[in-house]
A and B are shown apart, each in its own frame.
Chain A
């Protein structure tokens, strides 16, 4: 068998999945990983836990220290891919080097989106919160007297707030939206999470935006002024699609891939936060920048690059995120009829359409939530189970005895 030359642009979770996918088929051919960051693959969502001292420089690594060596990978650290020539089958790097490939995976991730705020250049201590280096820089910059302004009350901004909470004097979070976590929570559920965050000393300015910055203060649209020592910009992210677009691949908000993770260009695959794919809970194409999806996409891409057969065709948006001990889980789309269970311990909202579970929001009541998630993913007809029971509690007791027999009496 003639050897392939696999090249992966990016060194995050999707790249790790791609490596493991390739190696499940082809143990021999060389793999080259182009890594802009000077770190082995690490758990990106854990950078806030690093600030909380719940992980450290070793434990934050996604795989064992010998991961690349064991998998026959060469990693080019500190190198940025700038162009793909699919005719000559080579990737050009910013350093001028060229890397030949027979099959390529673009797992280039995303980058922070920074709106053109007036006066932003006057702010000296400003940070993003996307990379381990961002977390290390923030760790150095803050102390117990720091006043921090975080622009953006989404997952990244709020996780940053939780991570910094014990290290600084004051944290204010502002967002144009009128609620926290507006991309995944509705008003009532967002209010519960906001309350928990406020109880832990985080201040909010919601439905408000920054008009302009001075060196240590922000003028808000509401007329308020916020003084700060440290600014964190967590407004949003953009998929890194440019290199794929220039190589002739179809690109929308993300790089468009099929179920095998192939782009519109032969021999070029893509996986992770830079891609756009089908959300089967709403039958729409979207960027689902989630770590589990990144791994599964990467793995599928790797298998197919190596000549195997693997589809990833049941992606849905899903999140499990906790703040100060209160967990929120969400999945799918909030479409159709809503069924609610509510008590002092939390809220459960299930969304049903066409006899199928389409989505859910759980605050606090998260036990066995995966039973709900799998009903969405597998499009299980609710008529085949006891939905009245499932509305109250996630339990396999709601399935028929025969279904349960397969789940708990067989190899799955």
Chain B
């Protein structure tokens, strides 16, 4: 399946992916209205230091430990995509405790959210990748 992959040597650490993610998942048509002056809770985030930077989002693991660990039965896998039912999540953060990639973080209300590859929002494909100026993240099939 297609996943988001990182080319860290090309990442500028510009954080555009975070803004594009937050906008794509906001449900709004206007980026400034959706994001300006607001705390954003993107499902992808930049890590690194002065030497290296890279974007981290859900790896949609083959054998996803978050799915097995969720104490609310809120995380499941459908057609290879790891999804969260935010209506069932109680914000216990057990998924944060087990994800080896540090890919999950809660929204402003403490309820978990995660990258679902923009397959369910109006973007239809990962907005982070679409907006990356340097192909530091790509959406493609690799090694399967």
- A residues within 8 Å of B by Cβ? 17, 43, 45-46, 49, 54-55, 59, 61-63, 291-292, 295-296, 299, 318-322, 325, 327, 329, 331, 366-371, 373-374, 378, 389, 394-397, 401, 404-405, 407-412
Contact = CB atoms under 8 A, between A and B. Distances in A.
B62 A292 contact: no
B72 interface: yes
Contact of A320 (B47, B49, B97, B100): B97
A46 B54 contact: no
Contacts of A319: 97
A321 B92 CA distance: 6
A319 B95 CA distance: 11
A315 to B, nearest CB: 12
Nearest to B99: A370
Contacts of A292: 65, 68-69, 71, 94, 98
Considering residues A63, A367, A408, which has the most beta carbons from chain B within 10 angstroms of its beta carbon? A408
A49 B69 CA distance: 18
Contacts of B99: 368, 370
Contacts of B143: 410-411
B96 A397 contact: no
A156 B47 CA distance: 36
B68 A295 contact: yes
Contact of A367 (B5, B61, B92, B102): B102
Given A329-B97, A370-B98, A412-B62, A296 B68 contact: yes
A373 B96 CA distance: 10
B6 A408 contact: yes
A409 B69 contact: no
Given A408-B8, A411-B142, A322 B98 contact: no
Considering residues A63, A394, A411, which has the most beta carbons from chain B within 10 angstroms of its beta carbon? A411
B131 interface: no
A369 B97 contact: yes
Interface residues of B, number: 41
Interface in B34-91: 47-49, 52, 54, 56, 59, 61-62, 65, 68-69, 71-73, 87-88, 90-91
B47 A396 contact: yes
Interface string B106-120: 000010000000000
Contact of A401 (B47, B52, B65): B52
Contacts of B87: 59
A319 B72 CA distance: 14
Nearest to A370: B99
B98 A373 contact: yes
B30 interface: no
Contacts of A49: 90
Contacts, number: 128
A401 B48 CA distance: 11
B93 interface: yes
Nearest to A321: B92
Contacts of A394: 102
Contacts of A295: 68-69
B3 interface: yes
Contacts of A54: 90
Contacts of B5: 408-410
Contact of B94 (A59, A320, A374, A405): A320
Contacts of B88: 55, 59
B100 A371 contact: yes
28 contacts: A43-B71, A43-B72, A43-B73, A45-B92, A62-B73, A291-B71, A292-B71, A320-B96, A329-B96, A366-B97, A369-B97, A370-B96, A370-B100, A371-B100, A371-B101, A371-B102, A389-B49, A394-B102, A395-B48, A396-B47, A396-B54, A396-B56, A397-B49, A401-B8, A404-B54, A405-B8, A407-B101, A411-B142
Minimum-distance CB pairs A-B, first 6: A368-B102, A374-B100, A292-B69, A370-B99, A408-B6, A62-B73
Contacts of B20: none
B105 interface: yes
A322 B102 contact: no
Contacts of B61: 412
B98 A46 contact: no
Contacts of B142: 409-411
Contact of B47 (A17, A325, A370, A395): A395
B96 A366 contact: yes
A409 B141 CA distance: 11
A129 B99 CA distance: 29
Nearest to A298: B68
B93 A322 contact: yes
B54 A318 contact: no
A411 B93 contact: no
B7 interface: yes
B110 A325 contact: yes
Contacts of B104: 370
Nearest to B87: A59
Interface string B1-29: 00101111000000000000000000000
A373 B100 contact: yes
Given A292-B68, A320-B92, A410-B142, A370 B97 contact: yes
